Amino acid sequence: MRRSRPPKAIGPGLLADVYLECLKREFNLRQIRYRSRISVRVEFKGAQISTELWCDFFVESCLTVSVHSMAALAPIHSAQMLAYMKLLGAPKGIIVNFNCTNIYSEGQKTLVNESFRSLPDE
């Protein structure tokens, strides 16, 4: 599968929402199933907590994607991604920072959790 190219097409330095919209277009063109800006439910001691927690993308019901455009990612971004993965039951997550010169070598971080081990080998 050919990789998505929003940063090459429009360059770094724009707001994250611009790249989010570009990825939506790319997913649609490739007929990749996704949900965008979905509300993530949080349950605590048997009750749903009213919260404004949003996941940028939930792709093919198994991959969470977080879109950023900032100088550098911080450790809290990994912690947030792991939390989203747990809440959504996703075995894999990708954090993408579009504010870089080479997205493949410096603009992404992939995370997996314990659910990843239970996936079938293909």
Write out pLDDT tens, residues 57-83: 999 999 999 999 999 999 999 999 999
The CB density around residue 14, as the number of other CB atoms within 10 Å, is 15
Enter the tokens of residue 41.
């439910």
- Look at residue 7 in the predicted model and tell me its pLDDT: 54
22-47 average pLDDT score = 92
Of 53 and 34, which is predicted with more confidence? 34
Q: Give the confidence band of 1 by pLDDT, cuts at 50, 70, 90.
A: very low
Q: Give the confidence band of 104 by pLDDT, cuts at 50, 70, 90.
A: confident
Enter the tokens of residue 66.
């977080």
Find, among 74, 73, 78, 79, the residue nearest to 99 by Cα.
73
Q: Which fold has domain 6-115?
A: Trna Endonuclease; Chain: A, domain 1 (3.40.1350)
